Structures are given as C-alpha cells and as structure tokens.
Amino acid sequence: MTVKNILETMDYGPAPESAAEAMAWLDSKDRQFGHFIDGTFTAPTQDFTSKNPANGEVLASLSQARQDDVDAAVSAARKAQKSWAKSGHTRAKYLYALARALQKHSRLFAVLETLDNGKPIRESRDIDVPLAQRHFYHHAGFAQLMEDELPDRGALGVCGQIIPWNFPLLMLSWKIAPALAMGNTVVLKPAEYTSLTALLFAEICDQVGLPKGVVNIVTGDGAVGEMITASDVDKLAFTGSTEVGRIIRKATAGSGKALSLELGGKSPYIVFDDADLDSAVEGLVDAIWFNQGQVCCAGSRLLVQEGIADSFYRKLKSRMDGLRIGDPLDKCIDVGAIVDPIQRATIADMVASNDEGETYQTSAPEGCFYPPTLITGLTTSSKLMQEEIFGPVLVSTTFRTPAEAVAMANDTRYGLAATVWTENINLALDIAPQLVAGIVWVNSTNLMDAAAGFGGVRESGFGREGGWEGLSGYTKVKDAPKPAKPVTAFEGKGGLSDPIDRTAKLYIGGKQSRPDGGYSRVVYGPKGDALGEVSLANRKDLRNAVEAAHKAKGWGKTTGHLRAQILYYLAENLAARSAEFADRIKAMTGKQGKDEIESAIQTLFTYAAWADKYDGQVHGVPIRGVALAMKEPVGVIAALCDPRPLAGLVEVMAPAIAMGNRVITLASEAFPLVATDFIQVLETSDVPAGVVNILTGHHADVASHMGAHMDIDAVWSFSDPSHAAAIEAGSAGNIKRTLVAPAPSTPKAMLEAATEVKNIWIPYGE
Ligand code: NAI
C-alpha cells in the first residue's frame, strides 16, 4: 500500500502490540500454574485451560482448587492476619510497593490481560492497569491514615473474595487493596476464564516480599467459589452476576460473615434535547462498547428525548460504523473479543430472541466477536430493556419529559449507575437525585476512581468499593458494646381485671389499628400479674405497614433540619411523660426504668444532632470534575427491636428517621407495652403518618416475612440472633440490606446502615 492509497482510504493500518514478553512469562512457568498459598505456588494439577478468546489459542493450564487447597489458603490467611493488622505504616509500605511493582510491569500486565480476556490493549493499557495501580497507591494512603482517622475501627480478619472475568486485574485490586489496607488478609478466586493476571500479581506479591499468607490466590470455577463461601472466613466480597450473588447471600445467611455484593446492572443513559449530541454519542462509545459492553455499570439502556431521537440515532449509527472491531492486541482496535464463546452465544441468543423494535448492527470478524448493536423502538417493558445482556448491545427508547425520563430510568430492578446528558445544569442537578442508582455521571460516563465509592442499590447489590465509604466494608467497630441478651416474657395466669378492653393496638400509617388476625396476648409482670394486652401482628399487618411507609416517601425529601426538630420534639414529649414511662418499665421488667428513659432521650438528641450533620463528601477525582458523595436514605427499613422496652425501639427508630427513612418496628417481644404507649408520643410530636409504624407480636412469626418482603429495602434485627438466618436468607429476593445482631449499634454504624452513598460525578473547573 502506498502513502497515496492510505491518504485516499484514511484506513488505519494495524498497530500490533507485541505479545512476546507475556508469552515468554507464560513459557517461564511451563504454561501451567498451581495456586498461590502461604507465599508459595503449589504444584499444578492441570485441570482446565485459559484461552485467548480472540483466536482460541490455549495460553496455559490451570488448577482447580480442592477443599484441601481452600482450607490451606484460609488457614494461611488466618495465621498471617494478626501480625499484618499490627502496623498501618508497614501495610502502607507494602501497598505502595505493590503499586510500584504494578507500574513497573504495567505493559506485561496489560498484554497478559488482553490475551486472556480479549479486551482491546488500548483499554487494558490505559484504563485497567493504571486504575489498578491507582487503587493500590490510594489505599497505601488509607493504611497509613487508619490509626488516626478510623481509631474506632479494626480489621475484620480473613476475607474471601470472588471476582469476575470482565476486569480481572482491576477487580482484584478493588478487592485486595482495601482489605489489606485495613489489616485483613485475603483468599481470592479469579474467574475461571481469566486467572492469569491474578497469578502474575501473586508473583509480584512474592517479589515485594509481602509476608506469607497475606494474599492467597486459588483458581477454579464456581465450585471453588462455593468452598470459599462455606469456609471459615470473616467476610465475603463478591462481584459477578445477581444470580450467584443471591446464592452467596443465602449460603451465608445467619453465619455472621460480613458480605458485600457488586452485581449486575441495566444502567440508563439519558440524553436530553439540549445535550451536546456529539459528546453524548462519544460517551456511548465508552458506555456500551467499552470492554465489549461486558461492564456491570455499562450504559446499556439509552433513553433519548423524542424531539432529537432521529438525529441522535443517525449520528450514533454513523459513529458505530467507524468502530474498529478485531484483534485486541492491535492498538487501533475499539472493540475486542467477547470473553468466551459461551458468553458470545448468550449475547447472540438474547438478541435473536428479540422481535421488537429495529436492530442496527455493524459487522464483526469471524470467531468470538460480536458486532456493536443498537436496538431502537423498544418499550420499557421489553425483555431486552430489562435484562442485562452483558455484551456490545445498546437498547433504546424515547421519552418526552424529564419526569418521564426519570420514571423510565428507574423502571428496573437494578440500580448501579446512570448517565445524564444535558447542557442545562439545573436539569442535571434536578434529575441526578431522582435516579435510583449508586453512581450518576453528568455529561460523562463510566468514570471510576479509587477515591470515589463504586456500588449500587436494589438488585445491583450492596456495599461500596473505593473511597472512605468502601473502607467500612473491610472493618468492624472495635470494642463495640455487646448486643442485648435475648429475654423471654414473664408468664402468668388469667386475664386483666379491668373489664374495659384495653388491648394496645398496632400503629400503622398514623392510625391505631387492630391486628389482621384478631389475636392478642396478655403481658405479665415479673410476679405474674397481668399488665395489659398487646396485638399480635401477622404478615398482613406487616404488608399494610409497608404500604403506609411507602406512602410517606415525602419524608425522605424533608430537610435534615426539620427531621432534627421532630426528633427533639419527640424527646421533649417523652421527657414530659418520663415518670409514667418509668413506672411502666418497672411494672413490666421489675427493674427501675429511669435510666432507660434517660438513655432513650439521649438517643433522640444524638440522632437529632446528626440529622443535619451526617453529610456527604466531595471527592477529588482525577478528572476535570468532582464526585459528590451524597448520603441518601435507604428507603423503607423494617426492624426487630431488642428486648429493652423503650431504648430498643428508639435506637432503631431514631437513626432511621433522622436520615429520611420510614421505619416499621416490631417492638420488644418480651416487654411491648412501652412501645405502644410511645404511639401517643409520636402522635403529639408532628411525625407524619407512615414514617414510624409500630407492630407488636412474636418476632419469629414476622422475621422471615420482613426478610422476604420485596418492598422493604433493609431489615435490622437486634432481637434474638436466631432470627438472622431467616432474615438474611429471605433478603436474597430483592438483595435488601441487612444489619443483624450481634452487629454493633453504635451511632455511626447505625447512620451508615441508614444511608446509601450516591456518587454524582459532575464536570467542575478547568
Ligand atoms: P458469575 O457470577 O457466574 O461468576 C462470577 C464469579 O463467581 C466467578 O469467579 C465464578 O467462578 C464465581 N462463582 C460462580 N458460581 C459461584 C457460586 N455458586 N458460589 C461462589 N462463586 C461462584 O458470572 P459468569 O457466569 O461468569 O457470567 C454470567 C453473567 O453474569 C454475565 O452474563 C453477566 O450478566 C453477569 N456478570 C456480571 C458481572 C458484574 O460485574 N456485575 C461480572 C461478570 C458477569
């Protein structure tokens, strides 16, 4: 080809990156790998292979971990953990060394990643590997700062970490860097398609002299993931499909293991008619064709304002025509290979099964490649608008008004990310808070950084990775007060002597109501004397309370100042009746009640104080912008109260409502009468109907329904720890957040549980 020809066609010539170094590294290992346990590689057992998806070539043979391997890895991690947790500064030095080593070998990592995963070298070189380094650098800083900045937090212990194949090295660093920084040791399993960069990382750990057992890497498929889940770890951190996330949630229910889940998404990409359309088109290249669309936060659901839809789709198609798809090692390539033929077949089947709208596809080479695809004219209920495709397929529909855009954007079971394009700052900042997502990008997309938490809401999972907020997932409260011990109700005989029916009712939606089942029980004092009757709530009462709580959603939009005022008012009204409440506590428990009333009043003051002070942050991320880490209420929280008659109720109610949540409390099972007296305090303190709902009854009858209810966003249980298993297993349905005893209920821990952090990335500065 002559220069003249090139100028005529303006085609890119190939610009291949050499695979020689990566191949030489693989050869130096005889192309076979064991596991990395306690600082050494085990003998390879050659159970499965890792292939280059771009050409099907076998890169290496890998070992499938057996139970013995997993046990050995966990016990090595356990043995190493205590001394690893000792010095933040020592950990900072190692994390820094790992960052430096990643930087030094960055090209080798990038090429190996591209060979193993099929992603374009441009991405592994410019995004995956630099972001992985950044994560280690950033967390070296957190290790250094831990003692000063998080003096009340300590390491969890040993963390089991299971990661997917779409960002093998990056997901590894997201998991390992914070865990190590906070003094934990880890057992990590890479995905079976893409284990090679994790094994190279293991070698780097050895090179920098990381103490043995701090990082252990075991390879294999989901069966190994199951073994890690069942093993003696203190925390499980998982990134992958919502389906497997659910399995892990159920498997760990009631085990006391901490859990974070980063799951799927179907993130909306909203283009308003005043947007800079060319930028929005370019953004889509990063949103859905980056990493072949195999990105959990991919902007895969395009919502375009009706008036500009035709011109926008035209521009988009023309940009799609220009995307270069092919050999991932070619530096000119935009779209590489799909990770595996199985995954490619799934994408193709999903697209083939769709008979709605219009499909536009560019072409792709033979093999494990899938062409960039745009499907327009769908509706929000179309299957492809709802289900994660995890491939280079963009689905689209149009909207008319901003309100409609928000409704469509939120019409999904997921809530990972969202993108908004508009030149109108008022519109962008009006829409961002309304989107149900953990991350919102304004006039940008798919930005990630170690300083800003990453993670979702709803079925996209819980927990954050990155930023200060990510650290709490790898720490626990030190010297936490012990949770209240389970108490059984006093027994007695006979009913009330008072002939007037005084059965305390349930409090639902601001009204006192009789229980659906029509059952009640007598509450006896320590000497067996009948003190009163309380209603026994059932599943239907819970449902009614959830409905009432949802109707009160305006509470989440009130100001912190207003919520503080109401909490102070509650304290004032409670104080006015403290003698009466203290007598009631004495009658029920046999112990003086003054201290408990005082403690409840203090709790109300504490959360009133926090209501307008538990602020978000502004993260300085390395783009021309900032990430606003906004604290939002979780939504509807259901709680089983601990046995203390009043403090047990107030300690869950106050933090929940202080942060703008609505709450359904199931009062102390043994001593429920004070909670029902408290209804009058609520009624006289300007708490809007539905914000606080109070049920009474047997906790075992309601716990599993709370866990399984699809419209409850979080369940807290400080009641008998035996309820945790049912709650957590049920929570897998809508992946709700759970906080169960023996979790400490310190104010900070409660405020954290009562909020979700939403990171809103906005352009800022030059
Ligand atoms: P997956 O969720 O099955 O695999 C992710 C990781 O979990 C892998 O390391 C795997 O070995 C492990 N695993 C599988 N079953 C397990 C079990 N029962 N217990 C413990 N660990 C287990 O994802 P897969 O099959 O690779 O991809 C399927 C779909 O999942 C994709 O099409 C995509 O929709 C979604 N996915 C989402 C990701 C995300 O980042 N949110 C990443 C990868 C996949």
Are 517 and 657 in a shared domain? yes
Read off the tokens for 766. Answer: 């030059």
Instruction: Indicate whether residue 707 lines ligand 1 (CB < 6 A).
Output: no
Tell whether 289 and 375 lie within a shared domain.
yes
Asked whether residue 745 carries a pLDDT value surpassing 90, the answer given is: no
pLDDT at 436: 98
- Identify which of 359, 355, 354 has the alpha carbon closest to the alpha carbon of residue 373: 359
Q: Ligand 1 centroid vs 192 CA: distance in angstroms?
A: 10
Tell me, yes or no, whether 30 lies in a domain.
Answer: yes
Question: How sure is the predictor about 424, in pLDDT bands with cuts at 50, 70 and 90?
Answer: very high
Domain stop point among 416, 440, 455: 455
User: How many domains would you assign to the chain?
Assistant: 3
- Whether residue 122 is contained in a domain is answered as yes
The Cβ of residue 660 has, within 10 Å, a number of other Cβ atoms equal to 24
φ and ψ at residue 615, rounded to 5 degrees: -85, 170
Give distance in angstroms: CA of 368 to centre of ligand 1: 19
Q: Answer whether residue 477 is part of any domain.
A: no
User: Ligand 1 within 6 A of 225 CB?
Assistant: yes
Residue 500 confidence (pLDDT): 64
- Asked whether residue 706 is domain-assigned, the answer is yes
- 166 CB less than 6 Å from ligand 1? yes
180 and 127 in one domain?
yes
Q: Is 247 in the pocket of ligand 1 (CB under 6 A)?
A: yes
- On whether residue 3 sits in a domain, the answer given is no
Q: Are residues 185 and 282 in the same domain?
A: no
163-190 pLDDT, tens digit each: 999 999 999 999 999 999 999 999 999 9
- Out of 113, 262, 459, 669, the active site residue is 262
Question: Cα 752–604–581 angle (5° rounding)?
Answer: 135
Return the CATH number at 63: 3.40.605.10
Q: Which atom of ligand 1 lies at the shortest distance from residue 263's CA?
A: 41
Q: Which parts of 387-458 fold into alpha helices (H)?
A: 402-409, 425-431
Mark whether 535 and 436 lie in a shared domain.
no
Give 239-263 as a 3 state SS string. ECCHHHHHHHHHHHCCCCCEEEEEC
- Is 375 within the bounds of a domain? yes
Peptide bond connecting 688 to the previous residue in cis, omega within 30 degrees of 0:
no
Bridge partners of 185, per DSSP, are: 158
- The answer on 256 and 169 residing in a single domain is yes
Mean local confidence (pLDDT), 514-542: 95
Q: How far lies 646's CA from each of 415, 531, 584, 681, in Å?
A: 36, 16, 10, 12
The residue range of the domain holding 647 is 505-759
- The pLDDT of residue 7 is 81
Shared domain check, 661 and 518: yes
Mean pLDDT score, 252-266: 97
Is-catalytic flag, 366?
Answer: no
Gap from CA of 459 to ligand 1 centroid (Å): 14
Residue 492 resides in a domain: no
Q: Say how many Å lie between the CA of residue 44 and the centre of ligand 1.
A: 24
Q: Is 51 in the pocket of ligand 1 (CB under 6 A)?
A: no
- Protein residue with its CA nearest to atom 6 in ligand 1: 164
pLDDT for 583-623, tens place per residue? 999 999 999 999 999 999 999 999 999 999 999 999 999 88
Respond yes or no on whether ipTM tops 0.90: yes
Rounded to an integer, the average pLDDT of 401-430 is: 98
Q: Which tens digits make up the pLDDT trace of 364-390? A: 999 999 999 999 999 999 999 999 999
User: Do residues 219 and 297 both lie within one domain?
Assistant: no
451 and 512 in a single domain? The answer is no
- Same-domain check for residues 139 and 243: yes
Mutate to test the pocket of ligand 1, among 64, 116, 162, 460 (most ligand atoms within 8 A of CB): 162
What's the 164 CA to ligand 1 centre distance in angstroms? 6
The ligand 1 atom nearest the CA atom of 346 = 32
pLDDT > 90? residue 1: no
Domain boundary among 263, 294, 316: 263
* Substitution candidate for ligand 1 out of 241, 250, 338, 389 with most atoms within 8 A of CB: 241
Query: Residue 12 above 80 pLDDT?
Result: no
**Residue 766 scores a pLDDT above 80:** no
Is residue 249 located within the same domain as residue 277? no
Q: Which of 549, 586, 569 is CA-nearest to residue 712?
A: 549
Q: How does the average pLDDT of the chain come out, rounded? A: 96
Average pLDDT over residues 675-689: 97
Nearest atom (ligand 1) to Cα of 162 = 9
Distance 340 CA to ligand 1 centre (A): 13
162 lines ligand 1 (CB under 6 A): yes
Distance, in Å, from the CA atom of 420 to the CA atom of 432, rounded to the nearest integer, reads 8
Average pLDDT over residues 521-538: 95
388 lines ligand 1 (CB under 6 A): yes
pLDDT for residue 160 is more than 90: yes
Quick: pLDDT tens for 192-209.
Answer: 999 999 999 999 999 999
pLDDT digit string, tens, across residues 64-84: 999 999 999 999 999 999 999
Mean pLDDT of 355-370: 97
Q: Confirm or reject: Cβ of 164 under 6 Å from ligand 1.
A: yes
Taking only the tens place, the pLDDT of each residue in 96-123 is: 999 999 999 999 999 999 999 999 999 9
Pair 412, 447 in one domain: yes
455, 482, 513 - which closes a domain: 455
Residue 301 CA to ligand 1 centre (angstroms): 21
CA 730 / ligand 1 centre spacing (Å) = 21
Q: What is the pLDDT of residue 501?
A: 61
- Does any ligand 1 atom lie closer than 6 A to the CB of residue 226? yes
CATH number at residue 423: 3.40.309.10
| Residue 185, domain member (yes or no) | yes
Q: Does the C-beta of 415 come closer than 6 Å to ligand 1?
A: no
* Two tokens, residue 430: 């009006």
Q: From atom 16 of ligand 1, which residue's Cα is the shortest distance away?
A: 222
